[in-house]
């Protein structure tokens, strides 16, 4: 397993989302109009680069090219489109929020055929075992009610040798930048998000959900428990973002 974190004392973390499934869906339904804009503002546009990194991992397996990839918690579809751009012929994007999927389908009209969007539950994926070459999830695992169960379900639909890739915010524990980052993320971001989206509650939820999320090391352990091998991760964004990957044997 690749990846290390500072040896700071770890804060308690949840085994699943801090909000109910219904509350999460309601929040995301309401912020669709400014969702993409807020992602770019919060990350300084780096979210576009991070999604491209994930897309390349999903499209290029160790011994073959991916033919079919599932993007869970696809939101408005940006990662699904990036995976298509990386050379995958068939991409399926799934999200629990009908409003997010409606926006993704609207955006799909400006992209080549090959990306399908569905409303569905990440905890009960409507697909057969071993039916995808790769499965991705970006900024969505935090919002699922059982992290281990969710990774196990996404592993189920992978073919042997298939790859799971997770792009997610990770609790920020850098001693020097920590206070400054926390002020920005827990004070400035909710204000900007509240103004732009009209939903202050959703952007107050965001930092609380990250603070309660497992560390990058612990999420790697969760991936192992869920049945993945060769689990590794890289930390980006000055320690605020992690990309985890693992292979189904």
**Does any domain span residue 10?**
no
Number of domains comprising the chain = 1
| 6 pLDDT more than 70 | no
Q: Give dist(CA 114, CA 92) in Å, integer.
A: 8
**Does any domain span residue 167?**
yes
- At residue 178, the pLDDT reads 73
**Does any domain span residue 132?**
yes
| 101 pLDDT more than 90 | yes
pLDDT-above-70 percentage for the chain: 94
Among 60-69, 147-156, 185-194, which stretch is predicted with the lowest mean pLDDT? 185-194
Which residue, chain included where needed, has tokens 């000055």? 238
Secondary structure (3-state) at 132: strand
Q: Whole domain around residue 69: which residue ranges?
A: 21-171+214-247
Secondary structure (3-state) at 165: strand
For the stretch 211-235, pLDDT in tens is 899 999 999 999 999 999 999 999 9
**Does any domain span residue 25?**
yes
**Does any domain span residue 106?**
yes
**Does any domain span residue 182?**
no
Question: What's the N-to-C CA distance of the chain in angstroms?
Answer: 16
């Amino acid at each position: 397993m690749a990846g290390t974190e500072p040896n700071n004392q770890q804060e308690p973390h949840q085994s699943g989302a801090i909000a109910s499934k219904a509350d999460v869906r309601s929040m995301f339904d309401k912020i669709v109009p400014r969702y993409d804009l807020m992602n770019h503002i919060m990350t300084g546009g780096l979210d576009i680069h991070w999604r491209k990194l994930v897309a390349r991992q999903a499209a290029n397996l160790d011994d073959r090219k991916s033919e079919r990839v599932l993007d869970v918690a696809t939101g408005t579809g940006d990662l699904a489109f990036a995976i298509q751009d990386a050379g995958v012929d068939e991409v399926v994007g799934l999200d629990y929020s009908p409003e997010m999927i409606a926006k993704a389908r609207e955006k799909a009209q400006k992209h080549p055929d090959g990306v399908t969007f569905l409303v569905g539950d990440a905890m009960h994926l409507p697909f057969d075992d071993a039916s995808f070459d790769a499965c991705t999830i970006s900024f969505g695992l935090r919002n699922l009610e059982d992290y281990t169960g969710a990774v196990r379900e996404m592993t189920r639909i992978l073919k042997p040798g298939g790859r799971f890739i997770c792009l997610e915010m990770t609790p920020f524990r850098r001693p020097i930048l920590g206070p400054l980052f926390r002020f920005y993320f827990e004070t400035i971001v909710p204000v900007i998000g509240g103004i732009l989206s009209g939903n202050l509650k959703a952007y107050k939820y965001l930092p609380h959900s990250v603070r309660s999320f497992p560390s990058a090391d612990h999420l790697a352990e969760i991936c192992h428990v869920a049945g993945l091998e060769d689990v590794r991760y890289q930390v980006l964004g000055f320690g605020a973002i992690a990309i985890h990957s693992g292979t189904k044997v």
